[in-house]
Structure 1
Amino acid sequence: MKPGPVIRIDFRGGIVSPGDLYNILVAAGRLGLRRASFGLRQQMFLEVDDSIRNALCVELDALGIDYVNNLEGFPNIVSSFPAEEIFITRSWLSEGVYKDIFDAFDFRPRLKVNISDANQSFTPMLTGNINWVAAPGSPHYWHCFIRFPKTNIIYEAPVCAYTNDLASITACLEDQLMKGEMNGDALFGHPAMAHYLWKKAEAHLELPPFNLPYYEGLNRYGNKNWLGIYTREEWLSIDFLKSICRLCLETRIGQFCITPWKSIMIKSIEDADRPRWNALLDQFRINMRHAANELNFQVEDQNPDALALKIFLLKKLNRDDIRTFGICFGIKTRPRSEVFCNILIRRRAMIRLGRWSFWYRYDICCSEEFNPNKRTAWVFSRNNPRWLLPEQLRRAIIAYYDGKSIAASQQVEQSNRQPDKTAVQQIHQCGECLSVYDDPETSFGDLPAQYQCAVCDAPKDAFVPREWEKQSA
């Protein structure tokens, strides 16, 4: 099943004023639209028929709203702003700093840009091509991680950039990357970089372990409250969203936040206004307090098939009462899409006839060290029919917890172990995304000619044999 045509409206960093959002919703409602949904890069989608597409574009143009006429195009800037003050404390990165950075972007990036606080795991840090992460001990300085386009190669810059230069440096980096520059040292050694203020990075930045907070419900922080709204169907009625905007304006709340989990957040709710927000939720029958394992899924934008698979797997996980704390699941059905996860369920068609696909099988892939900020690196289970997928997913979950236990034991024993010698082993590495084929049950040479990379769908002949020296204790 494929979604209908959409208009995509990007809100830089996941922030929009209730007044601007209300005007968009009024225009959409006037043309007969009844619902809206939100995306992984903190944007909003409006499903439109061809009969009203042009009319909606005229309305948005009149409002001065930037929009994209499909799912692709200029990607939105993702930020950790929705978590600020709620899930992030004791950080120099304040609301004002975020907004100064967003205002400095007087262009729409062609590559994916992420702007993140280092003291959180609520929003993904390295899913962009240009990833800025606030230096924890150096106010107004930022580490930069480059993920080269169409690869899984991550380069960490040896220097930190100053806040006021982020937008300009992003434009310079993007220009070089779009020209095909694939050398990190050359990127930051470019003559144009000499014009900016830099500070030597004191050490490699250790990103925090993944721990997704519970992000829905009406909750207290400090002396105020925040409201998080998630829906299983991934859409909300336009009437409900307009009512939220009106209540924000009436109670002097200046911003509406969209998260990378396809949910919305409203911050700075006063205690005196809690009854009005509860009444609004009652009026529209908005359910709260979904199971944590449901909130920990990421599926592709505008994809009913992926959403149906999520619901199918959730029923099995809930039936068997499976613990999933600390795990972020992703579902991928499109060759070039991207989701943030440490366990990925990947659908592949065994038969393709032009635009049509048949006879699906599913792989379960795991990120390196089960860290979702690293790329999905190895295949846990391959070619599963749909009916077997829940059991294989359960086994992957067990492997995750077993791995955590083993890692904890090895950390205790590491100081008493010394490397002895190296063993040379031949591996096969994808020439496009650099992932390594690692399936002890099937040697690379025995794979069929039509085999594709589990990460990027590159053909079998894109793999390159390499020798790897592995330390043995």
Structure 2
Amino acid sequence: MNMKNLLTINAPGGMLTPNDLLKLVEPEGVDGFILGRRQNILIDYPGTPQELSRRVNVDPVPLVHPNIICSHASGGIDLEKNDWAYINEDYQTIFDSFTFKPTLSVSICSFQQSMFPLFSSKLNFIASNIEGLWHLVIMLNQERVLLPHLFKTTQVAPAVQAMQDFIANDQFITSHHLAELLEASLPLNENKSADLILPPLQNRDFEGFTPMKNGRLALNIFSNHKPWKKEFIRDFANLAKEHDLNRLYVTAGRSLLMKHISKKDLHSWEALLGRHNISIRHSEQDLAWIVPSHKSNSIKLKEQVIQELNHEGFACHGLNIAIDPRDSDCGAPIIINTSKNFMSLSCRVIYKPSFDYRHSGFKTAGKNLNFDELLTCLRDLQQQFHTRKIDSAGVRIQPISLEDNQPEQYQCPDCLSEYHKNAGDPQNGISPGTDFMDLPKSWVCNLCECSKLKFQPI
């Protein structure tokens, strides 16, 4: 794929129409496309696609405006779950209120569904138990914080816009201070947040044909990191139009999802898959890995690791592993980061001790690992995963308190000098008792002139 002409096709929640697909593969030089982790499409396209749906945006790669991840696609598929935001069309209301392109990554999900990771963005809105109200979990500088307020559906987009502005003005702002600024800018006091209680983790990919609550079928197909070819895309879109199916989805699992297929049309869709040799029964190993579709070296490593592990057997059963993800909160409890040292592979492996991606905090399982050492490390982690103690209560996340005291000491990362609230910095006009956050932006370390933005709380 030619990176020079590479575009990302962003549609909030991955919602597209069959006509969108047909327009994307219309030019003679387009052979197909690949799917991204943010429900987006990556395509080598000459120029700019025209006549796409109103919510669809086109950006060059690398990403400037990350696509909005949303669990709307899972609505109506899981027979045991009820998603009020899907039923009441709150997702659609939120999408329509975004009159700007977010520069921060945003996720909008139901906590009940298992198709989409809850914490895959800097700003993660999660449906509460109260209809029309959302929790907000912020991920800044590897710190995960649940804000002490619930947000109305109509406040989601304004909150994103406000936080974007705050972060643009202060690159090293803390999650705590961001919550304070947000409280001052939006009327949130009436909607206090309780603990966010997440049910025990379920890993379901819904591959193939799945019954829906309305008696119809959903078809979810994976490409296993291979491009979707133009001929298949055309036939897929045309069959959808023939059956009056006007919406399809790109999922965060890099699959194509078509919902509301009539059971009487099942044979037509099975024939389509058969003609194009599309499998709906990928191995557990293939679906367990999270790898960027545009990183060929990462994909090659995945294939080599799977091949070696399969010699002795390597049952995942819900264990997800990521290689070189864009963000550490990608939905995988094990992450492999690779680098090249004098043309040889060197890997660092981090993992979450609970093996539940929804918990915060990673530990290091190994570093500077060669290929054989990487295999040994993964086998050890797999055994830990299958012998772990499973918490039937799920995950409880408590909101921060804005009444908590701010840190009174901050340290310069360059010369290690400290700022103490009680002492202030009188020689530069800073009175004792001044909070670090209240220092002017022009304030610098009085020893080495390091910027205030680089200081760390201690």
Shorter-chain TM-score: which interval?
0.7 to 0.9
1:369 offset after TM fit, Å?
Answer: 2.3
Using a 3 Å threshold, how does the CA distance of structure 1 residues 252 and 2 change in structure 2: closer, same or farther? closer
1:45-444 equivalent positions in 2, closer than 5 A: 45-48=42-45, 53=46, 56-57=47-48, 59-60=49-50, 66-87=57-78, 89-94=81-86, 96-135=89-128, 137-148=129-140, 151-180=141-170, 182-190=173-181, 193=184, 195-196=186-187, 199-222=190-213, 223-332=215-324, 339-351=330-342, 358-375=343-360, 377-404=362-389
8 Å Cα contact 1:60/1:66 also seen in 2: no
Shift of 1:3: 5.8
What's the CA shift for 1:332?
1.0
When structure 1 is superposed on structure 2, of 104-113 and 240-249 the one drifting more is: 240-249
How high is the TM-score relative to the length of structure 1? 0.76
For residues 250 and 261 of structure 1, the distance between their equivalents in structure 2, rounded to whole angstroms, comes to: 27
Cα offset for 1:339? Answer: 3.6
Range moving further from structure 2, 111-120 or 210-219: 210-219
Instruction: Sort the Cα spacing of 1:152 and 1:158 in 2 relative to 1 into closer, same or farther, 3 A.
Output: same
AA aligned opposite 1:118: F
Would the aligned equivalents of 2:348 and 2:369 in 1 still touch at CA under 8 Å?
yes
C-alpha distance in 1 between matches for 2:455 and 2:373: 29
Secondary structure in 1 matching 2:196: coil
* 1:340 Cα offset (Å): 2.9
Q: Which moved more, 1:102-111 or 1:182-191?
A: 182-191
| Matched residue SS, 1:93 | helix
SS at match of 1:68: strand
Supply the distance in 1 between the matched residues of 2:262 and 2:323 (Cα, whole angstroms). Answer: 38
Q: What's the offset of the Cα at 1:31?
A: 3.0
Residue 338 of structure 1, CA deviation: 6.5
- Rate the CA distance shift 1:196–1:33 in 2: closer, same or farther, 3 A: same
Task: Read off the aligned partner of 1:35 and give its amino acid letter.
Answer: G
TM-score (norm 2): 0.79
Give yes or no for contact 1:360–1:385 (8 Å, CA) kept in 2. yes
Checking the alignment, whether the CA contact within 8 Å between 1:80 and 1:115 is kept in structure 2 is yes
RCO (CA 8 Å, sep 6+): is it higher in 1 or 2? 2
Letter aligned with residue 227 of structure 1 = L
**Matched residues in 1 for 2:279 and 2:31: separation?**
19
Question: CA-atom RMSD, angstroms?
Answer: 2.8
CA distance in 2, matches of 1:366, 1:86: 31
Q: Unpaired segments of 5 or more residues in structure 1?
A: 352-357, 412-430, 432-461, 467-473
Matches of 1:106 and 1:154, distance apart in 2 = 27
Over 3 Å counting, the alpha-carbon distance change for 1:373 and 1:191 in structure 2 is closer
Question: Is 1:44 the counterpart of 2:41 in the alignment?
Answer: yes
The offset of 1:324, in angstroms, is 1.1
* Identical columns (%): 22
Aligned to 2:437: none
**SS of corresponding position for 1:13:** helix
Distance 2:203 2:52 in 1: 39
Summarize the Cα distance change of 1:142–1:359 in structure 2 as closer, same or farther, 3 Å threshold: same
8 Å CA contact retained: 1:146, 1:155: yes
SS at match of 1:159: coil
Distance 1:298 1:19 in 2: 29
| Counterpart for residue 21 of structure 2 | 21
CA distance in 2, matches of 1:273, 1:341: 36
Question: Closer, same or farther in 2 for the Cα pair 1:465/1:377, shift >3 Å?
Answer: farther
In 2, Cα distance between equivalents of 1:157 and 1:192: 10
Give the letter aligned to residue 13 of structure 1.
G
What letter corresponds to residue 115 of structure 1 in structure 2? I
Q: Confirm or deny: 8 A CA contact 1:212 1:296 kept in the other structure.
A: no
The answer to whether the 8 Å contact 1:333/1:348 transfers is no
Separation in structure 2 between the aligned mates of residue 326 and residue 253 of structure 1, nearest angstrom = 32
The AA in structure 1 aligned to 2:10 is D
Residue aligned with 1:278, SS: helix
Partner Cα distance (1:82, 1:232) in 2 = 20
* Structure 1 pair 63–370 and aligned structure 2 pair: CA distance change class (3 A): closer
More helix by share: 1
Question: Structure 2 counterpart of 1:205, which letter?
Answer: L
Gaps of 5+ in 2: 394-412, 414-453
User: How far apart are the structure 1 equivalents of 2:125 and 2:275?
Assistant: 41
SS at match of 1:101: helix
